[in-house]
Amino acid sequence: MDAVLGASLPVFIGLTVVLFGGAAFMMGQAVAGTWRPAWQVVTYGALLALADRFLVFALFGGELLSLTGYLVHAAVLVGIGLLAYRFMRAHKMVSQYPWLYERAGLFGWREKA
């Protein structure tokens, strides 16, 4: 498991999922809140994954240049960011255009009948 993650499981959960996952969630909300396209979440998520890999290396002695570790960390952070993006976009559509749209689940909206 350490070879795939590039770090131990507690370090992955604590640093990547909790700390950087929170940053990715806020990043996804910020991108959606300013009406930017979703591909920017992927770009910023990749940059967050670079910072995450560096802190894993610097603080916990993980492998810095682990390609699989970077890809796993980036996938988790981009996934969290895209979930937050879609959640915020649905919220913005419903709150800014209440005469046109209504909520359809946690991540969607639909036209009012």
pLDDT-derived band at 5, boundaries 50, 70, 90: confident
- Closest-CA residue to 87 (of 73, 100, 75, 103): 103
Give 103's strand partners: 109
Does position 3 have pLDDT exceeding 90, yes or no?
no
DSSP letter for each residue of 17-62 = IIIIHHHHHHHHHHHHHTT--THHHHHHHHHHHHHHHHHHHHHH--
**To the nearest whole percent, how much of the chain has pLDDT over 90?**
86
**Predicted pLDDT at 22:** 97
Q: What is the mean pLDDT of residues 23-52?
A: 97
Q: What is the pLDDT of residues 67-110, one digit of tens each?
A: 999 999 999 999 999 999 999 999 999 999 999 999 999 999 99
Count the neighbouring beta carbons within 10 Å of the beta carbon of residue 97. Answer: 13
- Mean pLDDT over each residue of the chain, to the nearest integer: 94
- pTM of the full structure: 0.92
C-alpha 5/C-alpha 52 separation (Å) is 12
**Predicted pLDDT at 32:** 97
C-alpha 34/C-alpha 21 separation (Å) is 20
